[in-house]
Amino acid sequence: MPCKPEILKIKQAAKSRLFLVEELALRFSNGEQRTYERLASRGNGAVMMVAIDSEDNVLLVREYAGGIGDYTLTLPKGAVDPGETIYEAAERELKEEVGFGARQLDFLKEMTTAPNYMGHKLQTIIARELYPCRLEGDEPEPLEVVKWPLSDLDNLVLNPEFTEGRAIAGLYMARHFLTQQQ
């Protein structure tokens, strides 16, 4: 494995309410120096849940996605609040977004998005043994909950409304996890 570059300097390049852009001055082991820009990670990370009900349906949400300027079908997800474990955050977000809690939460994988440019990490969790329970969330409008048969995963992935790569990966990991459990 190559030697990590030496960080010579980290400088704030820009900041908004949600994002912090940093410049990283780096020196690589061969002496090359470069400046990288990245969206720095802030907060305590995030969780994404693959919630499976008793009929083997995946619970999805349809919500407005500002990044693409349209509604999208995806998995429930949200930030980990200060002092929360990823499991506590997953339980809270499930209750806020789909109106269910989970008696069984299993960690699947930590994922990144565009790691060359962003430090954000997402903890993927499979949620089972669901029970009705709703908490008020921070969404600007109620989210539509859509049930999709896990057995029809391939058609969900082809659905033009379902485009988020992390959600697609999470579903395939969950299906593999459940297959290994049998």
**Hey, what are 138's tokens?**
């921070």
Q: With 80 as the cut, is the pLDDT of residue 4 above it?
A: yes
Place of tokens 């083997």: 56
Q: List, for residues 50-86, the tens digit of each pLDDT value.
A: 999 999 999 999 999 998 999 999 999 999 999 999 9
pLDDT over 80 (residue 42): no
Please return the burial class of 74, using the count of CB atoms within 10 Å of its CB with bins 0-12, 13-18 and 19+. Answer: buried
